[in-house]
Every structure is written in structure tokens, then in C-alpha cells.
Amino acid sequence: MNLNSLGWSNLLMADPSEVECLARIIAVHRSHLRAIDIEGELNIHLSSGIEEIPTVGDWVVRTPRFVDEQNENAALIRRVVKRYSDLLRVKPGEGVKKQALAANIDIVFVVVSANDDFNINRLQRYLILIKEGGANAVVLISKTDLNPNYTLLIEKIRVTIGPEVPVVCTNQNEPSTFECVRSLILKEKTAVFVGSSGAGKSTLVNFLLNREVQKTSEIRESDSKGRHTTTGRSLFVLSNGGMIIDTPGIREVGVWGDKEALLDAFPNITKFAKECRFSDCNHSSEPDCGIRQALLTGAFEGREWDNYLKLKKEMDYFRRKADRSEAQNTKKRWKQIHRQIRQKRKFESNHD
């Protein structure tokens, strides 16, 4: 085993003296983290000075190994290596805080169940976060065996998000469809599965690993939906050298990011906005507006435009709150600096 086999990339940076102390986080528990390095798995404990708790997929520089209270090999974190990509959402109920769902990832599979009510707004939210985090997106439609009209769902997704994002399908009765997913997870690359509870993420993980590592539940006869089973995020190494991260079902997908990430999730709007007479058109009352003309002719649905405006408003709101929070923190830091300067001067004057 070497670092590359655990997903180490030349996009990451570490001092040569730190190489032997690198470990990758594979699970997050309440009391500790679980990691893996070239010697095997170990518990990782936080040390003072670590401002942000690492998430699954993060690389850390650890202290020498010791045996902890659980009688397990363990180490402390010295620092977290800067990520080359991540998947972050706005933390529910926290205002301006972000929550890391996975780090140092190359591909994100957004799992959509073919037998569930499809929510295009939720899919577009994921696409924004994936774009902002620097990974590649794939839409994965699971359980197509439970929906004889699943091709209509594929068509709806294609029309809305465009041809740039790949769409793949899995069928519980056709193992070859799962192999298609495996082929997309390359050696030494990391993939993460995200989606609603019961979408079939754990079933995918178990198939790819050829063993049951995540609990799954039977489909309910009442509505043909699966139950929530995964309770934490975990990283696993595949036999082909790729890595996968499973995540619990996500109810709230709070978005943040820049205008480019938003527009990438709405290719139809990007297309028709280019037809506006004015480059700074706000698509409300300006003459020769490509967006309003497209809405009038039915070139794309008004619901899609409403979704775009809703997400734009949400992202603008988060950005304003984040800017205010940063300004307040900066002001607070400067107050502390001035207080320390005054205390130092007072001390020096009393000891002259």
C-alpha cells in the first residue's frame, strides 16, 4: 500500500518531511475520526489548534502512533492538508456556516431513484455545489426496474441540465448496469454518492465492494421506496484501486457559490441570456431580452426560471450574510489587536 493507492494526488501539497505522517480520513465518529495510512487503519484524535474538524476524504498530517483508551492504534492531528476539491453545503440552521460532506473527490454521483418523485430543483442544487467544489458530476438513476417509464425521466433530466453532465442508470435485475458505474471510478480516484434517503446509495456501495458494508432495507410495498439506512459518511477502497464515499440521505441542500456555478446548472437560461441585446440585462423590462422571449414562446418552462430566481436569491442572501459576518470578525480581530497593544504599552510604562 502506498499513498497514491489511498487517493493522494499531485494536486495536494505536503512537505517531504511530512510524507511518512500522512493519513486519510475514512470515517467521522462523535468521539474520534478513523483514518488509514500506509501502515493500516488507526484512530485520529483532534489536538489543540485545529480550527475545523476534518471530513471524510481529508488528508491530515499526524503525530507518531500511540495506543489510545480504546486500545487502538491512534495519533493526533498536526494539521489538515489543503483540499484540491470538496463538497460543501450551507449548514442547516447555522446561517453562514458551511458543512463539508466530502473532501478531495474527483466525481460526485447524484443518485436519483426512478421510482421516487423527481425533484429537479434538488438536482440543480447538487450540481451547483459540485461545480463550486471542483469535482465532476454524474447523475445516476437507480431502481429503473421499478419504473417502466424511466426513459421519460432521463429525457426530462437531459432537457433541463443539458448534455454536459453524464446520466447513467442501474437496474437491480441487471448487474451489468452496476459495472457501468464501476468503470467510471478510476484507479486512485475518489467518488462520492449523494442523494435522498432510500435512493439506493448503500446498495450501490455494497455491489461495488462485493460485500455488505452498509446496511440496506427492503423496499416498502406501500410506496415502493427504500428506508434510510446509512447514518454516517465512510470511505472504502475498491478492488480496482478506486475509492468511494457513501453518505447519509440529505434533506436540506443549502446552496452557496458564484454566478458561474449557478449558470452551469441552468444551461437553457445561459443559452437564451446570450441572445439579450444588453450584456447586463436583468431580464425584467429591457427590450430584446432573450430570456423573456424564450418564456413567451415556451422555449423552456417558467418553472425552470422560477427555480433559477429562487436559487439566485438564496445564494445572494448567503453571500451578504457571509460578507457581514466576515466584516464583524475582522472588526473583532482588530479590537483584540488594539487591546493587546494598549496592554503592552501599559506594561512597558509601568516597568520603565
Strand blocks (E) in the chain: 22-28, 33-37, 40-45, 59-62, 66-67, 73-80, 86-90, 98-103, 107-113, 136-142, 167-169, 190-195, 234-237, 243-246
> CATH 2.40.50.140 residue ranges in the chain?
4-80
CATH number of 86-246: 3.40.50.300
Q: 44 - beta bridge partners?
A: 33, 75
Segment (H or E) for 207? helix 201-209
CATH number of 4-80: 2.40.50.140
Per-residue pLDDT of 122-142, as tens digits, reads 899 899 899 999 999 999 999
Mean pLDDT calculated for residue range 10-29: 91
Q: Which residue type is seen at 226?
A: G
> CATH 3.40.50.300 residue ranges in the chain?
86-246
Amino acid 99: pLDDT: 85
Model confidence at 169, pLDDT cuts 50, 70, 90, reads very high
**Which cell numbers in the block locate residue 319?**
453571500
Maximum mean pLDDT: which of 27-31, 161-165, 180-184: 180-184
In angstroms, the Cα distances linking 87 to 12, 107, 192, 235, 319 are 16, 10, 9, 14, 17
**Which cell numbers in the block locate residue 286?**
429591457
Distance between CA atoms of residues 3 and 35, nearest Å? 13
Per-residue pLDDT of 27-53, as tens digits, reads 988 778 999 999 999 999 988 878 888
What residues contact residue 317 under an 8 Å CB cut-off, 6+ apart? none
Amino acid 83: pLDDT: 96
Amino acid 223: pLDDT: 46
Asked whether the beta carbons of 216 and 227 are under 8 A apart, the reply is: no
